[in-house]
Amino acid sequence: MMRLMPPGFARFSQTHSFDITYAGGEANVGIALAQWDVQAVHATRFPQNDIGQAATMYLRKFGLDASAIRYGGERLGLYFVENGANARASQVIYDRLNDSFCTLHPDDFDWEQILQGADWFHFTGITPALSESAAETCLTAVKTARKMGVKVSADVNYRKGLWRWGRTPQEVMPELVEQADFIVCGTSNAEDLFGILPKEGAKSNWESAMRQVMERCPNVKLIVDTKRKSLSASHNELSGRAFDGKHVYKTISHDLHHIIDRIGSGDAFIAGFLYGYDYYEHNVQKALDFGVAAAALKHTVEGDFNLVSVEEVEKLAGGDTSGRLSR
């Protein structure tokens, strides 16, 4: 999508111009991984015009492999961001009706060719929310990945305002999530998508709900989530947790003062966890610490992409929050 934001902290009603960047859930994950020298390929559909080419070049600028981008349709999806501060919350307005991605066709992608040699396939709950054809394409992709032995990760984030094409997320998402090995899921997601509620008297509502998700989706071997406390739009506390079916892992809480941009921090967390999970040889605690540190640093970077280095993430994950000048 194209992201349009008033400069600084201006409101929509004040601005005479918008700063333009490009973004998207899966693209955000891929860009973060590309910054850490992981080969990442982005599959999407842009319009065959100068705006579609600008979006492609923007992704390539940050190291993302654009070989699986297809072209067609009438327009690039848009979203508008008003940056909040202190007690005034940020807000997002989507403009995605009939954009190029919503109107893609499942035959646009040869998933066996795209997934050749891949270790992971990642999708978000936003993709199947957009249209019937997008949901069908996503299902074909995850089934192909499983057939080829490619691990599947999913952020099951629920965007109520995007589900407008006739079927509910409860009808669509379970079949997709059942194909996944690793998911990002919170208690509210479990209720919204599966109708799962924590068992009465459970010591941990999140653990109780996630156990039930794993029973429903036996392919899922690992679930992670972030826990955010919003003291204001400019001051949050962020921590992470993971569940492998037996143990719950937790991180320290990062105190995030003077937030620059929190959009994309969830994608930064996923990229960080996936990177850490492989880099630390499936050590869940270290991967979780790395993922939350990556998400914390994303709050200091303008735009959706997490443009930080492995060394910066490791430094924060190791407890160095000094922010000292590096020379």
Question: Above 70 in pLDDT, residue 327?
Answer: no
For 67-78, the pLDDT digits (tens) are: 999 999 999 999
Question: Above 70 in pLDDT, residue 10?
Answer: yes
pTM, two decimals, is: 0.95
Number of H helices, E strands in the chain: 11, 13
Question: Above 90 in pLDDT, residue 162?
Answer: no
In a domain, 238, yes or no: yes
Separation CA 136–CA 88 (nearest Å): 39
| Residue 276: per-residue pLDDT | 98
327 or 12, higher pLDDT = 12
- Looking at residue 304, the DSSP 8-state letter turns out to be S
| Residue 324: per-residue pLDDT | 75
Query: Tokens for 316?
Result: 């924060």
Read off the pLDDT band of 159 (50, 70, 90). confident
State how many domains the chain has: 1
| Residue 297: per-residue pLDDT | 98
In a domain, 125, yes or no: yes
Read off the pLDDT band of 134 (50, 70, 90). very high
Torsion sign, CA atoms 318, 264, 132, 102: negative
CATH number at residue 220: 3.40.1190.20
Question: Above 80 in pLDDT, residue 87?
Answer: yes
In a domain, 327, yes or no: no
Question: Above 90 in pLDDT, residue 250?
Answer: yes
Whose tokens are 């069908």? That residue is 136
Q: Which value, in Å, is the radius of gyration of the alpha carbons in the chain?
A: 19
Separation CA 187–CA 105 (nearest Å): 33
In a domain, 111, yes or no: yes
Amino acid at 250: K
Read off the pLDDT band of 160 (50, 70, 90). confident
CB neighbourhood size of 136 (10 A): 15
| Residue 57: per-residue pLDDT | 98
The answer to whether the beta carbons of residues 234 and 9 sit under 8 Å apart is: no
Strands (E), 83-140: 91-95, 120-124
In a domain, 229, yes or no: yes
Question: Above 90 in pLDDT, residue 161?
Answer: no
pLDDT over 90, % of the chain: 94
Amino acid at 124: T
For 206-248, the pLDDT digits (tens) are: 999 999 999 999 999 999 999 999 999 999 999 999 999 999 9
Closest CA to 226 of 278, 189, 181: 189
Closest CA to 183 of 205, 152, 212: 152
Torsion sign, CA atoms 47, 48, 53, 56: positive
Task: Say how many CA atoms lie within 13 Å of 68 toward its Cβ.
Answer: 20
In a domain, 15, yes or no: no
| Residue 121: per-residue pLDDT | 98
Pairing of strands 2-5, 78-82: parallel
| Residue 158: per-residue pLDDT | 86
| Residue 19: per-residue pLDDT | 96
For 164-206, the pLDDT digits (tens) are: 999 999 999 999 999 999 999 999 999 999 999 999 999 999 9
Closest CA to 46 of 83, 92, 2: 2
Question: Above 90 in pLDDT, residue 321?
Answer: no
Separation CA 189–CA 56 (nearest Å): 32
Helix, strand, coil percentages, rounded to 5, for the chain: 35, 20, 40
Domain containing 131: what range?
Answer: 25-72+107-317
Residues 278-291 have a mean pLDDT of: 97
CB neighbourhood size of 192 (10 A): 18
pLDDT over 70, % of the chain: 99
Separation CA 292–CA 266 (nearest Å): 9
Read off the pLDDT band of 107 (50, 70, 90). very high
In a domain, 93, yes or no: no
Q: What's the per-residue H, E or C state across 7-46?
A: CCCCCCCCCCCCEEEECCHHHHHHHHHHHCCCCCECCEEE
In a domain, 233, yes or no: yes
Query: Tokens for 56?
Result: 């492609």
Helix (H, G, I), strand (E, B) or coil at 217: coil
